Amino acid sequence: MYPLPEGCFAPRNQWYIAAWADEVRREPMERWILNEPVAFYRTEDGRAVALEGRCPHRHFPLGKSRLVGDNIECMYHGITFSPKGDCVRIPSQGMVPASCKVKAYPLVERWKWLWIWMGDPALADESLIPDHHEIGLTDPAFTVESGTYHAVPGRYMLMHDNLFDLTHLGFLHQTSIGAGDYSVVDEQRDNGDNWISSQREFPNIQCPPLYAQVFGYEGKVDRAFGMKLFLPSLHAGYDFLFKSRTDSDDPGAVLGKVRVYHAITPATKNTAHYFFAYGRTFKQDDDAFGKAMLASFNAVIEEDMLATREIEAMLTTLGTTPPEVLLKADATCVRGRRLFESLIRKEQAV
């Protein structure tokens, strides 16, 4: 499925961010992931559970059902499942058919996220989850603002395309964050089997207006900006600002550092989930400032939603996938798509 080749949707034997930990409570919650309905809830002792969210009797959504102790009871005819997905009760008969059960997905609570494994549970290795400390989430040097969720009105790969190609900043985000420079500065790329990174350096540029205000500094800066995608879900980025090494009173002094986290998870074939957080090294105790900056980022992400909604509508209405013109700036995008395709093909081969 575009932008991947026909027959390729998403890799399954991978960890995806399913929810913010505090979204999942005792009350069951339904969320579609990889085109499957999933029912989330917490047991009485607080453990998060993810079950296949479709009752095998008449397909009623379990995420819209009710809990009885640690078990979930289907709202329709009362069939009850344990946190392991076994059927523990059929009110209308004593005998439980072997087919009366639902899948239980491996679920890991790490930092403020719940990571889900939708594929073969035997392969769910927790050490494959990106190291949260390495990407700064638990680094005390950064104050992290989190908790943002956006429902993406388009297929998940459109969001990865968006994050792979930041030359859209100067155009789609012209009235918010701007940054036309992205279109002209060379990009350094690197990748492994399950990660891809891109970095840009902006030496000796005017301090961007937002930061000039925050740092009380109107001079020249060196700016380093990069993004790394840990396939298939989490883009971790950084935006570091230093006083210009060639034209300032204190060459190379750190003005401030920002880290951004964009987590994308396929929901249905044509929708996705987007979880956002950011960290900063400045105004760390200023809660109101931190929340306001989070709101600004979210307004920018809504502009990405606008582009995604329009492209999804265009493709869905056409019903075909016209060829696309590829540009030099699409190099990271093309490489990233190939990595997704290769993960999917490996699973198909097995």
Which residues contribute to the site for ligand FES (CB under 6 A)? Answer: 55, 57-58, 60, 74, 76-79
CB of 106: closest distance to ligand FES in angstroms?
24
Question: Which of Fe ion, ligand FES, none lies near 57, with the C-beta cut-off 5 to 8 A by kind?
Answer: ligand FES
Taking a C-beta distance cutoff of 8 angstroms, is the pair 346, 14 a contact?
no
**Residue 35 — left, alpha, or beta (φ > 0 → left; ψ -120 to 50 → alpha)?**
left
Residue 228, helix vs strand vs coil: strand
Query: How many CA atoms are closer than 13 Å to the CA of 304, on its beta-carbon side?
Result: 29
Question: Which of ligand FES, Fe ion, none lies near 77, with the C-beta cut-off 5 to 8 A by kind?
Answer: ligand FES
In this structure, which amino acid lies at residue 171? F
Cis-peptide into 3, omega within 30 deg: yes
Rank residues 58 and 345 by Cβ distance to ligand FES and give the closer one.
58
Rank residues 47 and 58 by Cβ distance to ligand FES and give the closer one.
58
Question: Which of ligand FES, Fe ion, none lies near 272, with the C-beta cut-off 5 to 8 A by kind?
Answer: none
Question: Which of Fe ion, ligand FES, none lies near 119, with the C-beta cut-off 5 to 8 A by kind?
Answer: none
Q: Which long-range contacts (CB under 8 A, 24 or more apart) does 36-39 make?
A: 36/118, 37/61, 37/62, 37/63, 38/63, 38/105, 38/116, 39/63, 39/65, 39/72
Question: Which of ligand FES, Fe ion, none lies near 304, with the C-beta cut-off 5 to 8 A by kind?
Answer: Fe ion
Q: Which helix (H) or strand (E) holds 344?
A: helix 331-349
Q: What is the binding site for Fe ion (CB under 5 A)?
A: 304
CB of 62: closest distance to ligand FES in angstroms?
8
Nearest of 275, 319, 29, 278 to residue 152 by alpha carbon: 275
CB of 31: closest distance to ligand FES in angstroms?
19
| Token reading at 191 | 């990748």
Helices (H) then strands (E): counts for the chain: 4, 17
Rank residues 74 and 294 by Cβ distance to ligand FES and give the closer one.
74
CB of 298: closest distance to Fe ion in angstroms?
12
Question: Which of ligand FES, Fe ion, none lies near 79, with the C-beta cut-off 5 to 8 A by kind?
Answer: ligand FES
CB of 47: closest distance to ligand FES in angstroms?
24
Rank residues 75 and 331 by Cβ distance to ligand FES and give the closer one.
75
Taking a C-beta distance cutoff of 8 angstroms, is the pair 170, 178 a contact?
yes
Strand partners, 260: 237, 278
Taking a C-beta distance cutoff of 8 angstroms, is the pair 198, 187 a contact?
yes
Rank residues 68 and 141 by Cβ distance to ligand FES and give the closer one.
68
CB of 92: closest distance to ligand FES in angstroms?
9
Question: Which of Fe ion, ligand FES, none lies near 76, with the C-beta cut-off 5 to 8 A by kind?
Answer: ligand FES
Question: Which of ligand FES, Fe ion, none lies near 178, with the C-beta cut-off 5 to 8 A by kind?
Answer: none
Q: CB neighbours (10 Å) of residue 249?
A: 9
Rank residues 74 and 267 by Cβ distance to ligand FES and give the closer one.
74
Rank residues 59 and 133 by Cβ distance to ligand FES and give the closer one.
59
Rank residues 60 and 240 by Cβ distance to ligand FES and give the closer one.
60
CB of 260: closest distance to Fe ion in angstroms?
11
Q: Tell me which residue has its CB nearest to Fe ion.
A: 304
| Token reading at 168 | 């859209």
CB of 99: closest distance to ligand FES in angstroms?
13
DSSP 162-203: HHH-GGGTTTTTTTTT--GGGGTS--EEEE-SSEEEEEEEEE
